């Protein structure tokens, strides 16, 4: 099997939810890797990837061999399974699938893609002897494939908003209740927020400890394109290299979770917290690609995330005109996302993300025009970036957002144009 064959097999599995009975059967055949590694389990609507990256980076700085499982990827599939900041190598991914294949016997056609990728991650972390692994929920919580793990060191909940409402519920409280399904009996939960008391209620039901992030103890000192400096919970002048006005809050939640891990016996020092936060790397989150004009890519794809992106744009670039390259999945809340951007846009250039559920660029442009916004469709990202840069001139700001699936194409197009 080649690396290309391995990716083809993974990507041709069906889409849909997991079957925990099937997953447990496969994992049992593999020697129960889900029981061999302690986990930090992270759920939420926005900020999951950043919070996972902060926690994993600090744990690595503590000296622990740390796995990190996230989704989706921005550049390459291998980003989804990492150890100590390094993507799984192509050869090891291929070998991993070859080792797992016999355990899939009878399930090759029924297993879901995300379910399979989760099993691969769990097996890899156990095989490599990870001391701990940070596991990002794909969607929801209680019925997510990652919830096959029997226990966790801590459950972490990032900002929760309206997304995937057709699956998770029509209110933020309903969605929070579904996400709270990852809380394990006798466990610990650290939370950015607690809509309707859904998370703390689940903690009481499971005999788990509830720790809300105390943002009253957060003081943001500086927010710039090169990163942010802040004080939190007795720690002064913490630095993160990620831009975005929302990032100090994500980092504060990560510190809250890390300190809870310290109380559970993990060696989490102030020095490691500082070093881990300072050295974190996470692509596609208010990431500046070039200047003159400025081009930013951001993974915001639902209303709360896009509103946070707009807030960061207004903070960093007051009085500038914004050209949005927008690509969205058809099953997202397109109306609310476009409403959040409408009054801040000089112009929209619409693209279709390279994914089956993509909204057609022409359809998205037409929707925006009906709302009174200047909008046009582009055949591809190269065309979209060329037009956006032309409209921006030297003073404008180009921001590509709406779907993680468009970010790598935007990166390539922006850097090619920059080289010219």
Identify the top-confidence range among 53-67, 137-151, 236-250, 330-344.
Answer: 53-67
Q: What is the DSSP letter of 265?
A: T
Q: What is the pLDDT of residue 165?
A: 54
Exposed / middle / buried, residue 304 (Cβ in 10 Å: 0-12, 13-18, 19+): buried
Written out in words, the top-level CATH class of the domain with range 3-278 is: alpha beta
Tell me phi and psi for residue 353, to 5 degrees.
Answer: -60, 150
The pTM of this model reads 0.86
Looking up tokens 């209680």 gives 142
User: What's the pLDDT tens digit per position in 339-350?
Assistant: 999 989 999 999
Give me the residue spans of the domains in the chain. 3-278, 287-419
Question: Cα(407)–Cα(284) distance, rounded to whole angstroms?
Answer: 7
Burial category of 133 from C-beta neighbours within 10 Å (exposed 0-12, middle 13-18, buried 19 and up): buried
Quick check: 155 pLDDT over 70? yes
What architecture is the 287-419 domain classified under in CATH? Answer: Alpha-Beta Complex (3.90)
pLDDT of residue 333: 87
Other Cβ atoms closer than 10 A to 206: 17
Q: Which tokens hold the place of 80?
A: 């989804």
Each residue's pLDDT tens digit, 375-401: 999 999 999 999 999 999 988 999 999
Please, which pLDDT band fits residue 167 given cuts at 50, 70 and 90?
low
Q: How far apart are CA 27 and CA 23, in angstroms?
A: 6
pLDDT of 304: 83
With a pLDDT cut of 90, the percent of the chain lying above it is 76
pLDDT at 166: 61
């Amino acid at each position: 099997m080649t690396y290309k064959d391995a990716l083809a097999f993974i990507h041709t599995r069906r889409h849909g939810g997991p079957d925990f009975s099937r997953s447990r059967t496969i994992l049992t055949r593999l020697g129960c890797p889900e029981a061999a590694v302690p986990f930090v389990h992270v759920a939420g609507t926005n900020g999951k990837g950043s919070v996972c990256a902060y926690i994993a980076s600090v744990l690595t700085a503590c000296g622990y061999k740390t796995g990190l499982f996230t989704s989706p990827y921005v550049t390459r599939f291998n980003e989804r399974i990492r150890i100590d900041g390094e993507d799984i190598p192509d050869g090891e991914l291929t070998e991993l699938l070859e080792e797992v294949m016999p355990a899939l016997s009878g399930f090759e056609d029924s297993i879901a893609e995300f379910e399979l990728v989760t099993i691969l991650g769990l097996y890899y972390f156990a095989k490599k002897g990870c001391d701990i692994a940070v596991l990002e929920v794909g969607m929801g919580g209680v019925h997510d494939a990652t919830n096959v793990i029997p226990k966790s060191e801590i459950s972490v909940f990032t900002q929760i908003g309206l997304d995937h409402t057709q699956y998770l519920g029509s209110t933020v409280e309903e969605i929070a209740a579904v996400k709270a399904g990852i809380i394990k009996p006798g466990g610990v939960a650290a939370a950015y927020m607690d809509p309707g008391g859904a998370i703390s209620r689940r903690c009481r039901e499971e005999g788990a400890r509830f720790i809300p992030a105390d943002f009253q103890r957060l003081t943001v000192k500086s927010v710039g394109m090169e990163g942010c400096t802040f004080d939190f919970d007795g720690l002064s002048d913490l630095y993160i290299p990620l831009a975005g006005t929302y990032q100090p809050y994500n980092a504060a939640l990560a510190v809250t979770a890390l300190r809870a891990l310290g109380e559970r016996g993990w060696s989490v020092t102030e020095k490691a917290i500082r070093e881990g936060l300072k050295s974190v790397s996470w692509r596609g989150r208010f990431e500046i690609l070039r200047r003159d004009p400025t081009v930013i890519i951001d993974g915001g794809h639902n209303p709360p995330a896009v509103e946070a992106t707009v807030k960061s744009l207004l903070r960093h670039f007051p009085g500038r005109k914004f050209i949005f390259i927008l690509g969205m999945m058809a099953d997202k809340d397109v109306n609310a996302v476009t409403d959040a951007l409408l009054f801040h846009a000089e112009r929209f250039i619409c693209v279709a993300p390279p994914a089956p559920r993509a909204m057609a660029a022409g359809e998205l442009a037409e929707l925006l025009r009906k709302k009174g916004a200047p909008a046009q469709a582009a055949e591809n990202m190269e065309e979209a970036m060329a037009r956006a840069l032309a409209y921006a001139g030297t003073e404008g700001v180009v921001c590509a957002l709406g779907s993680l699936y468009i970010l790598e194409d935007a990166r390539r197009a922006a850097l090619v144009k920059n080289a010219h």
